Structure 1
Amino acid sequence: MAFSPDFRTMTRPAGAGTDAGAIDQGLRAYMLRVYNWMASGLVLTGTVAYLVANTSLRAAFFAAVMTPSGVAVRPTGLGMLAMIAPLGFVLVMSLGVNRLSRQAVQALFWLFCAVMGASLSSILLTFTGVSVVRVFFVTAGTFSAMSIWGYVTRTDLTRFGSFLLMGLFGLVIAGLVNMFLHSSALYMLYSVVGVFIFVGLAASTPSASR
């Protein structure tokens, strides 16, 4: 089941004796809430990323340093913390979500989205705006297609959730390691594995609420 701040209040749309139409209506309503939260969080993440990359906040997260090949942009201590922090949020929200109040979970969600924006701001400093927009639409299209497939499939995909979550942790760690190695081969592997992990997470999300 995808994380959303109100997911703990979700109940199955129907019990025994409820017709298929009522089940489908309840499922659609639940998925609409999930995607509303995801869209709002994405807007916050993008806004924070833009502000960090294009305003005076940039100096707090990134510094220009001299290298043998010229001037390069490197994360400061705060920048490194911002890059690592999302992993901590994922652990807290995954392991402690049932122990926290709804208000606490919602606050963590918004804070997570903001921190993700600061973490991803380096992308705006490395790639052109056209590249970022192109990747965004490709990702959004892939996510939408796999979410629809996960919604209509009769196969229970939730059993893969724990494996995909562990894969996500490994992906974050690999990304941090490659920040120092700068290996093009590892970057390519990172990209390919990342696509499969997030496609799997997208596909397994809707079926979890059946």
Structure 2
Amino acid sequence: MIEYPNLKSTTLKKEKDYIQIYFRKVYSWMFCGLLLTAFVAWYVSNTAQIVNYILNNKFFLLSLCFLQFMLVFVISNFLNRLSGKTLTTLFMFYSSLTGLTTAGIFSSYNQNTIFTAFITTSFTFLAMCLWGYFTKKDLSYLGNIIIMGIFGIIIASLINLWIQNNLISSIINYVSVIFFTLLVSYDTQKLKNIAKKISLNVNDRDNLRRYAILGALMLYLDFINLFFVILRLIDNNNDDE
């Protein structure tokens, strides 16, 4: 009797391999971006003239933030128009700017608080990535919930700038942790679905590079936002003790 190869099984195996290749590239570029951000933030924090200039020049700081917003917009919306190398350069430039604009945390928070926040964020981020990657449950329904939740957080934060209530601030931080942890899992599953769609073009290295940079940017933003929320939460808890 003639035995035919299980083509479906072979295809699934190849797809699984392609997904793993894609995620390795995503996490590699994300790690490079975070490392560059940490280095720039550390270097700038040890250069008093730069820190003072940034903190005392609000227009310059707002300009940097606007430039960051534009870089995210360009990478997200011109993905298929730019080469992988160009997108990589833009992502690394964005990571550098983030380090520049966040260098002030070293003067605002003590090193123990920063280290604790980083470790907590890392483990939380890893756990939610694993859940988003391995869960068979469709997390797409979380998209609108997360978007509405984040908008609510932004509005509440703006209101609290005027009220300046510590209790409201703590509630905002706790709620923010919930939504940003869910966002990590949501984005991870979203990237897994993207990997399945581009698996047929895995031999197109530039195409793979472009989507890897997009994934790296998404998870990078998730990590940074989660880190700062946890940092504020830990700092507030320390102040209450």
Distance 1:180 1:38, change over 3 A: farther
Contact 1:83 1:118 in 2 (8 A): no
Alignment partners' CA distance in 2, 1:47 and 1:61: 17
Alignment partners' CA distance in 2, 1:78 and 1:173: 24
- Asked if 1:154 is matched to 2:136, the reply is yes
Deviations 1:46-88 (A, max 9, x none): 111112222132132123xxxxxxxxxxx53222333454333
Of 37, 42, 56, the match for 1:45: 37
Structure 1 residue 125, shift from structure 2 partner: 1.4
Contact 1:87 1:172 in 2 (8 A): no
Long gaps (5+) in structure 1: 1-14, 64-74
Structure 1 residue 108, shift from structure 2 partner: 1.7
- Asked if 1:60 is matched to 2:53, the reply is yes
Alignment partners' CA distance in 1, 2:78 and 2:148: 16
What letter matches 2:80 in structure 1?
N
Moved more, 138-147 or 44-53: 44-53
- Asked if 1:36 is matched to 2:28, the reply is yes
- Cα-Cα RMSD: 3.0
Distance 1:174 1:49, change over 3 A: farther
Q: TM-score, normalised by structure 1?
A: 0.72
Contact 1:82 1:119 in 2 (8 A): yes
Q: TM-score, normalised by structure 2?
A: 0.64
Moved more, 54-63 or 123-132: 54-63
Number of aligned residues: 185
Structure 1 residue 188, shift from structure 2 partner: 2.3
Alignment of 1:184-203 (within 5 A): 184-203=166-185
Percentage of identical aligned residues = 28
Contact 1:87 1:169 in 2 (8 A): no
**Which of the pair is proportionally richer in helix?**
2
Contact 2:40 2:99 in 1 (8 A): yes
Distance 1:162 1:102, change over 3 A: farther
Deviations 1:172-206 (A, max 9, x none): 67667766765434532442233123212211233
**Which of the pair is proportionally richer in strand?**
1
- Asked if 1:23 is matched to 2:15, the reply is yes
- Structure of larger gyration radius: 2
What letter matches 1:34 in structure 2?
V
Long gaps (5+) in structure 2: 1-6, 194-241
- Structure showing greater relative contact order (alpha-carbon pairs closer than 8 Å, 6 or more residues apart): 2
Structure 1 residue 159, shift from structure 2 partner: 4.9
